[in-house]
Amino acid sequence: MTSLRVGSRGSILALTQTRLVVARLIELNPGLTVQEVIIKTEGDQTTTPLSEAKNPGVFVSALRDALLAGEVDFVVHSMKDLPAKPYPGIVTAAVPEREDSSDVLISRSGLDLMSLPVGSWVGTSSPRRAASIRRLRPDLRIDSIRGNIDSRLKKVESGEYDATLLALAGLKRVNRESVVTEHLDSKSFVPAPGQGALSIECRDKEPELFGAIAKLDHPISRLVALAERSVLVGLNASCATAIGASGELRGDRLILVAELSIESTGESIAVSNEVVLGSNKLLDAENLGLLVAEQLLESPIAAKAALQ
């Protein structure tokens, strides 16, 4: 195996992430060459808010279809874009070391969230972020915003929006961290499950390819992200679900905090639980996420939230 094809979306962020993965993959597998294959996804071609998308995984399905069709050998995703449940025929070969999972605010005036004037327009397509804003600043106006990092920043610079919220990880990867006005507290803005992590997928039953990619795996990042994303599975969450989950490993204790909110009002319920990891750490992480989801479902908030 000396030559591979990698599937990627064509956005600046997607290509940057893919190229970071490819560079490291070649470093760990000397003599390997990797060809980029740009794939257009439904999410790249629609202006519909992601929370209203009829099909889950609008940034993911076309990449996975190309992978299963043999058009590419592996694909690189932002983990937070992935639907909650596993996909038949595809396996996560590696979760590289995770970047910072937090959210940040970018405002035209340079003011932080609590200092924005009453009635300021904030652009976000995330039900989770919208709910947190409504809880903290119900006097602000929220509108859906789409586009890549640069186009969203331009909409703020032009005055179309007074501020927007983005994942810090993406800004750091494309060297745009300097635009950040405020780093948002993860207790007030619990990050999306898997935010800041990448998922490298390949077809199952290809042990040589899996082995080459698996050299990129960061076990702690995989473990924590699995716990967070298992909350999504337990909730049967969709793109319209305002859900955040953040895990932390302290010694042999895995601690998980999850928050379920109602996008339209900002009402929320937060649950925290932990597990002492045993011999099967991944199973323990998965079960912790499912347990936290079960606890969230017992709340009256669950009946009002967007769960399907």
pLDDT of residue 146: 85
pLDDT of residue 56: 44
All residues at 6 or more sequence positions from 22 whose CB lies less than 8 Å from its CB, including other chains: 6, 34, 36
Contact indicator for 247, 262 with CB cutoff of 8 Å: no
> b/e string for 269-308 if b means 16 or more Cβ within 10 A?
bbbebbbebeeebeebbbebbbbbbebbbeeebbeebbbe
Contact indicator for 156, 164 with CB cutoff of 8 Å: yes
Is position 81 annotated as part of the catalytic site?
yes
Burial class (CB in 10 A: 0-12, 13-18, 19+), 158: exposed
Q: What average pLDDT does this structure show over 272-300?
A: 97
Q: What is the DSSP letter of 259?
A: E
Q: What average pLDDT does this structure show over 155-178?
A: 97
Catalytic residue among 44, 65, 73, 81: 81
Coil, helix or strand at residue 180: coil
Q: How far apart are CA 293 and CA 47, in angstroms?
A: 31
- Ordered by where they begin, the domains of the chain are 1-96+197-217 (3.40.190.10), 103-183 (3.40.190.10), 218-303 (3.30.160.40)
Q: What is the pTM of this model?
A: 0.92
pLDDT of residue 305: 83
304 band by pLDDT with thresholds 50, 70 and 90: confident
Q: How far apart are CA 84 and CA 193, in angstroms?
A: 10
Does 54 have pLDDT greater than 50? no
* DSSP β-bridge partners for residue 94: 200
Gyration radius from the chain CA atoms? 19
All residues at 6 or more sequence positions from 176 whose CB lies less than 8 Å from its CB, including other chains: 149, 153
pLDDT of residue 308: 45
Q: How far apart are CA 183 and CA 198, in angstroms?
A: 21
> b/e string for 13-28 if b means 16 or more Cβ within 10 A?
bbbbbbbebbeebeee
Other beta carbons within 10 Å of 133: 26
| Token couple for 264 | 């339209």
* DSSP β-bridge partners for residue 4: 34
Q: How far apart are CA 216 and CA 201, in angstroms?
A: 12
pLDDT of residue 63: 95
**Which candidate, 228, 199, 197, places its Cα nearest to that of 213?**
199
**Which candidate, 152, 107, 143, places its Cα nearest to that of 123?**
143
pLDDT of residue 57: 58
58 band by pLDDT with thresholds 50, 70 and 90: low
